[in-house]
Structure 1
Amino acid sequence: MTDTPSAIPARTPLQIAELYVDCWRRKDFSDLRPHLADDCEFVGVLGTASGPDEFLQGLNGMAAGTDSLEIRKRLADDTDVITWFDLGMAGAPPTAVANWTHVEAGLITRVNVTFDPREILAVG
Protein backbone atom coordinates (compact mmCIF):
# COMPACT_ATOMS: atom_id res chain seq x y z
CA MET A 1 0.00 0.00 0.00
CA THR A 2 1.39 3.40 -0.93
CA ASP A 3 0.54 6.70 0.61
CA THR A 4 -1.30 9.21 -1.49
CA PRO A 5 -1.23 12.96 -0.85
CA SER A 6 -4.79 12.78 0.53
CA ALA A 7 -4.01 9.86 2.85
CA ILE A 8 -4.41 10.64 6.55
CA PRO A 9 -1.49 9.37 8.60
CA ALA A 10 -2.49 6.91 11.30
CA ARG A 11 -2.57 8.54 14.73
CA THR A 12 -2.85 7.11 18.20
CA PRO A 13 -5.75 8.19 20.43
CA LEU A 14 -3.26 10.36 22.35
CA GLN A 15 -2.11 12.10 19.15
CA ILE A 16 -5.73 12.69 18.12
CA ALA A 17 -6.51 14.20 21.55
CA GLU A 18 -3.47 16.46 21.19
CA LEU A 19 -4.66 17.50 17.72
CA TYR A 20 -8.14 18.24 19.15
CA VAL A 21 -6.66 20.74 21.62
CA ASP A 22 -4.25 22.19 19.08
CA CYS A 23 -7.14 22.87 16.69
CA TRP A 24 -9.13 24.44 19.54
CA ARG A 25 -6.25 26.77 20.38
CA ARG A 26 -5.88 27.73 16.71
CA LYS A 27 -9.68 28.05 16.39
CA ASP A 28 -9.45 26.00 13.21
CA PHE A 29 -10.79 22.44 13.18
CA SER A 30 -10.10 21.54 9.54
CA ASP A 31 -7.29 19.17 10.63
CA LEU A 32 -9.62 17.43 13.11
CA ARG A 33 -12.51 16.78 10.69
CA PRO A 34 -10.91 13.71 9.05
CA HIS A 35 -10.58 12.13 12.50
CA LEU A 36 -14.30 12.28 13.33
CA ALA A 37 -16.44 9.18 12.79
CA ASP A 38 -19.60 9.72 10.73
CA ASP A 39 -21.66 8.83 13.80
CA CYS A 40 -19.56 10.66 16.39
CA GLU A 41 -21.33 11.97 19.49
CA PHE A 42 -20.55 14.83 21.84
CA VAL A 43 -22.13 15.09 25.28
CA GLY A 44 -21.29 18.07 27.46
CA VAL A 45 -22.61 20.39 30.12
CA LEU A 46 -23.64 23.05 27.60
CA GLY A 47 -25.05 20.77 24.92
CA THR A 48 -24.89 17.66 22.77
CA ALA A 49 -24.02 17.03 19.14
CA SER A 50 -24.43 14.16 16.70
CA GLY A 51 -22.28 13.75 13.61
CA PRO A 52 -19.24 15.70 12.46
CA ASP A 53 -21.08 18.84 11.35
CA GLU A 54 -22.85 19.40 14.69
CA PHE A 55 -19.71 18.34 16.56
CA LEU A 56 -17.57 20.93 14.78
CA GLN A 57 -20.25 23.61 15.01
CA GLY A 58 -20.23 23.21 18.79
CA LEU A 59 -16.44 23.19 18.99
CA ASN A 60 -16.22 26.31 16.83
CA GLY A 61 -18.65 28.05 19.17
CA MET A 62 -16.62 27.10 22.23
CA ALA A 63 -13.34 28.05 20.57
CA ALA A 64 -14.70 31.45 19.58
CA GLY A 65 -15.32 32.28 23.24
CA THR A 66 -12.10 30.74 24.56
CA ASP A 67 -9.55 33.07 26.14
CA SER A 68 -7.16 30.33 27.32
CA LEU A 69 -6.78 26.57 27.45
CA GLU A 70 -4.12 25.15 29.79
CA ILE A 71 -3.57 21.38 29.84
CA ARG A 72 -2.98 20.02 33.35
CA LYS A 73 -2.86 16.26 32.70
CA ARG A 74 -3.60 13.76 29.97
CA LEU A 75 -4.02 10.01 30.47
CA ALA A 76 -4.39 7.58 27.57
CA ASP A 77 -4.74 3.94 26.68
CA ASP A 78 -5.45 2.14 23.40
CA THR A 79 -8.89 3.72 22.85
CA ASP A 80 -9.50 6.43 25.44
CA VAL A 81 -7.93 9.72 26.45
CA ILE A 82 -8.83 11.80 29.47
CA THR A 83 -7.64 15.40 29.25
CA TRP A 84 -7.84 17.61 32.34
CA PHE A 85 -7.51 21.29 31.52
CA ASP A 86 -8.29 24.80 32.68
CA LEU A 87 -10.57 26.66 30.30
CA GLY A 88 -10.79 30.45 30.29
CA MET A 89 -13.93 31.73 28.56
CA ALA A 90 -15.70 35.06 28.21
CA GLY A 91 -13.46 36.74 30.78
CA ALA A 92 -14.42 34.25 33.52
CA PRO A 93 -11.74 32.74 35.76
CA PRO A 94 -10.30 29.48 34.39
CA THR A 95 -12.64 26.53 34.89
CA ALA A 96 -11.41 22.96 35.44
CA VAL A 97 -12.64 20.67 32.65
CA ALA A 98 -12.47 16.89 32.19
CA ASN A 99 -12.69 15.72 28.56
CA TRP A 100 -13.01 12.02 27.75
CA THR A 101 -12.32 11.21 24.10
CA HIS A 102 -13.04 7.70 22.77
CA VAL A 103 -11.25 6.65 19.56
CA GLU A 104 -11.92 3.59 17.40
CA ALA A 105 -9.94 2.76 14.26
CA GLY A 106 -8.33 6.21 14.31
CA LEU A 107 -11.65 8.08 14.53
CA ILE A 108 -13.24 9.95 17.42
CA THR A 109 -16.54 8.23 18.13
CA ARG A 110 -17.51 9.94 21.39
CA VAL A 111 -16.49 12.87 23.55
CA ASN A 112 -17.89 13.50 27.01
CA VAL A 113 -17.04 16.74 28.78
CA THR A 114 -17.82 17.79 32.31
CA PHE A 115 -17.19 21.01 34.23
CA ASP A 116 -18.97 23.50 36.46
CA PRO A 117 -20.25 26.21 34.06
CA ARG A 118 -21.54 28.67 36.68
CA GLU A 119 -18.72 31.22 36.46
CA ILE A 120 -18.73 31.15 32.65
CA LEU A 121 -22.51 31.55 32.51
CA ALA A 122 -22.43 34.36 35.09
CA VAL A 123 -20.13 36.41 32.84
CA GLY A 124 -21.91 35.61 29.58
Structure 2
Amino acid sequence: MTDIRETSAAYFTAWKNRDFDSLRALLADDVTFVGPMATLDNADDCVAGLKGMSQILDDIDVAKVAVDGDDVLTWFDLHTTVAPPAPTVNWQAIVDGKIVAIRVAFDPRAIVAAG
Protein backbone atom coordinates (compact mmCIF):
# COMPACT_ATOMS: atom_id res chain seq x y z
CA MET A 1 0.00 0.00 0.00
CA THR A 2 1.77 3.16 -1.14
CA ASP A 3 -1.01 5.78 -1.22
CA ILE A 4 -0.58 7.71 2.03
CA ARG A 5 -4.30 8.51 2.28
CA GLU A 6 -5.05 4.76 2.12
CA THR A 7 -2.34 3.98 4.67
CA SER A 8 -3.76 6.55 7.07
CA ALA A 9 -7.34 5.31 6.58
CA ALA A 10 -6.17 1.72 7.16
CA TYR A 11 -4.64 2.83 10.49
CA PHE A 12 -7.95 4.21 11.72
CA THR A 13 -9.90 1.19 10.42
CA ALA A 14 -7.53 -1.23 12.14
CA TRP A 15 -7.70 0.70 15.42
CA LYS A 16 -11.48 0.95 15.29
CA ASN A 17 -11.75 -2.80 14.52
CA ARG A 18 -9.15 -3.64 17.17
CA ASP A 19 -7.07 -5.38 14.49
CA PHE A 20 -3.72 -4.74 16.11
CA ASP A 21 -1.73 -7.03 13.82
CA SER A 22 -2.84 -5.00 10.79
CA LEU A 23 -2.23 -1.77 12.70
CA ARG A 24 1.29 -2.86 13.66
CA ALA A 25 2.07 -3.71 10.03
CA LEU A 26 1.38 -0.07 9.08
CA LEU A 27 3.92 1.33 11.55
CA ALA A 28 7.65 1.75 11.05
CA ASP A 29 9.55 -0.03 13.83
CA ASP A 30 10.88 3.31 15.08
CA VAL A 31 7.61 5.25 14.76
CA THR A 32 7.31 8.16 17.17
CA PHE A 33 4.06 9.12 18.86
CA VAL A 34 3.41 12.34 20.74
CA GLY A 35 0.01 13.09 22.23
CA PRO A 36 -1.60 14.50 25.35
CA MET A 37 -1.55 11.13 27.12
CA ALA A 38 1.73 9.58 25.95
CA THR A 39 5.07 10.05 24.20
CA LEU A 40 6.42 6.87 22.60
CA ASP A 41 9.31 5.96 20.32
CA ASN A 42 8.62 2.54 18.83
CA ALA A 43 5.86 0.57 17.14
CA ASP A 44 5.26 -1.98 19.87
CA ASP A 45 4.71 0.72 22.52
CA CYS A 46 2.47 2.60 20.10
CA VAL A 47 0.32 -0.49 19.55
CA ALA A 48 0.18 -1.12 23.30
CA GLY A 49 -1.03 2.45 23.84
CA LEU A 50 -3.70 2.10 21.16
CA LYS A 51 -4.78 -1.21 22.69
CA GLY A 52 -5.20 0.60 26.00
CA MET A 53 -7.27 3.37 24.40
CA SER A 54 -9.34 0.78 22.53
CA GLN A 55 -10.74 -0.43 25.84
CA ILE A 56 -12.77 2.80 26.02
CA LEU A 57 -13.00 3.46 22.26
CA ASP A 58 -16.55 3.58 20.96
CA ASP A 59 -16.13 5.20 17.54
CA ILE A 60 -13.90 7.35 15.36
CA ASP A 61 -16.00 9.79 13.35
CA VAL A 62 -13.72 11.25 10.67
CA ALA A 63 -14.79 14.71 9.49
CA LYS A 64 -11.86 15.77 7.28
CA VAL A 65 -8.64 14.41 5.81
CA ALA A 66 -5.93 16.61 4.32
CA VAL A 67 -2.83 15.38 2.51
CA ASP A 68 0.32 17.46 2.06
CA GLY A 69 3.35 15.67 0.67
CA ASP A 70 4.12 12.77 3.02
CA ASP A 71 1.80 14.13 5.74
CA VAL A 72 -1.83 13.30 6.47
CA LEU A 73 -3.96 15.33 8.88
CA THR A 74 -7.17 13.66 10.04
CA TRP A 75 -9.77 15.64 11.99
CA PHE A 76 -12.21 13.40 13.86
CA ASP A 77 -14.41 13.08 16.90
CA LEU A 78 -13.02 10.50 19.30
CA HIS A 79 -16.01 8.76 20.86
CA THR A 80 -15.33 6.89 24.08
CA THR A 81 -17.49 5.02 26.54
CA VAL A 82 -16.38 7.29 29.38
CA ALA A 83 -16.55 10.88 28.11
CA PRO A 84 -18.25 13.13 25.56
CA PRO A 85 -16.75 13.03 22.04
CA ALA A 86 -13.36 14.72 21.90
CA PRO A 87 -12.53 16.76 18.78
CA THR A 88 -9.14 15.38 17.74
CA VAL A 89 -6.49 15.97 15.11
CA ASN A 90 -4.01 13.25 14.13
CA TRP A 91 -0.96 14.17 12.05
CA GLN A 92 0.86 11.26 10.46
CA ALA A 93 4.09 11.29 8.48
CA ILE A 94 4.15 8.35 6.06
CA VAL A 95 7.26 7.21 4.18
CA ASP A 96 7.41 4.21 1.84
CA GLY A 97 3.99 3.02 3.00
CA LYS A 98 4.88 3.07 6.71
CA ILE A 99 3.76 5.55 9.36
CA VAL A 100 6.95 7.03 10.82
CA ALA A 101 5.50 9.71 13.10
CA ILE A 102 2.15 10.43 14.74
CA ARG A 103 1.20 13.62 16.54
CA VAL A 104 -2.21 13.85 18.22
CA ALA A 105 -3.95 16.83 19.80
CA PHE A 106 -7.16 16.74 21.83
CA ASP A 107 -8.39 17.83 25.25
CA PRO A 108 -8.02 14.71 27.45
CA ARG A 109 -9.49 16.16 30.66
CA ALA A 110 -12.87 14.35 30.49
CA ILE A 111 -11.19 11.02 29.70
CA VAL A 112 -8.65 11.46 32.49
CA ALA A 113 -11.37 12.47 34.96
CA ALA A 114 -13.33 9.33 34.12
CA GLY A 115 -10.32 7.11 34.80
* Residue 70 in structure 1 maps to residue 64 in structure 2: no
Give the TM-score normalised by the residue count of structure 2: 0.93
d(CA) in 2 for partners of 1:37, 1:68: 25
The 8 Å contact of residues 90 and 123 in structure 1, kept in 2 or not, is answered as no
**How far is the alpha carbon of 1:81 from its aligned partner?**
0.4
| Residue pair 1:84, 1:96 contacting (<8 A) in 2 also | yes
2:28 corresponds to: 37
> 1:118, CA displacement in angstroms?
1.1
Paired residues in the alignment total 115
CA contact under 8 A between 1:16 and 1:35: conserved in structure 2? yes
The answer to whether 1:117 aligns with 2:93 is no
**Displacement over 4 Å in runs of 4+:** none
Q: CA deviation at 1:48?
A: 1.3
Deviation at 1:16, TM superposition (A): 0.9
Percent identity reads: 38
**Greater Cα radius of gyration, structure 1 or 2:** 1
- Consecutive unaligned residues of structure 1, counting only runs of 5 or more, are 1-9
User: In the aligned structure 1, how far is the partner of 2:2 from the partner of 2:53?
Assistant: 24
Structure 2 runs not aligned, ≥5 long: none
Give the RMSD, CA atoms, in angstroms. Answer: 1.2
- The amino acid across from 2:82 in the alignment is G
**1:110 CA displacement:** 0.3
Query: Paired residue for 2:19?
Result: 28
